Amino acid sequence: MPPCTVSLDLKARIPVLYRRGYSVTRICHLLGIKKTLIYKTIKLTGASPQNANHGLRGRRRNLSIDDIAFLTTILRQNPTIYLNELQHELQARRGVFVSVHTLFHTLHRLQYSHKSISARALERDEERCAIFMNNIAEIAPDPEMLMFGDEAAKDERTLIRKFGHLKIGTRFASFTDQYQSWLIHTRCIQRKCFVRGKQYSILPILTLDGIFEACLMGRNR
């Protein structure tokens, strides 16, 4: 007896019904096929149910999809908002009260991170900047004609580094000749100057090829 084959049209209905939330048992009764064929078809097509929480265990989430969309909209408009302010907006506009801890984990689940703010001048006028760039282009049509001046200064404390590396749970030991003893420190320590000393001011002329000319001046402080 030849094996019973299933038509392609019938196989195409399997992922459609599965995405709509139909169970495997109900698809078997509707289409009259076996479970093994359904599982193989779902695996090959990569179909997933419409309900995102289908098959998941654990406590039900306090925030719905509409609440999460509301949070993302507020964060898009005001990315510097505090969590307690976000909590107040959610309660006032959506009537949903959740803890700050829940909001923190929700944002973490949505792949939101806590970043440093890059400040931009509020007084900046894009139109005036475009006019200035057009005037510069008329004055200096060749970029090789442009030169820029930038003043910098250097003293004994300029090259001091603020961060260092030390293994967790270890101590840094230093020996001082004055007291003839060992000093145990729990911090990363570096001996450096506290007096600024002589300060040098430099005024270079910068071009596209690098520093064209520099004026160096020194003074005691």
Per residue in 96-117, pLDDT tens? 899 999 999 988 888 888 877 8
Which residues fall within 8 angstroms of residue 51, CB to CB, at 6 or more apart? 21
pLDDT of 135 reads 92
Does residue 71 have a pLDDT over 80? yes
Which range has the top average pLDDT, 39-48, 131-140, 163-172, 207-216?
Answer: 131-140
Q: Average pLDDT over the chain, rounded to whole?
A: 78
- For 108, 138, 205, the CA distances from 60, given in Å and listed in that order, are 17, 65, 64
pLDDT band at 92 (very low <50, low <70, confident <90, very high): very high
pLDDT of 180 reads 45
pLDDT band at 194 (very low <50, low <70, confident <90, very high): confident
Regarding pTM above 0.85, the answer is no
Name the more confident of 35 and 88: 88
Q: Which residues pair with 60 in a beta bridge?
A: none
Name the more confident of 131 and 149: 131
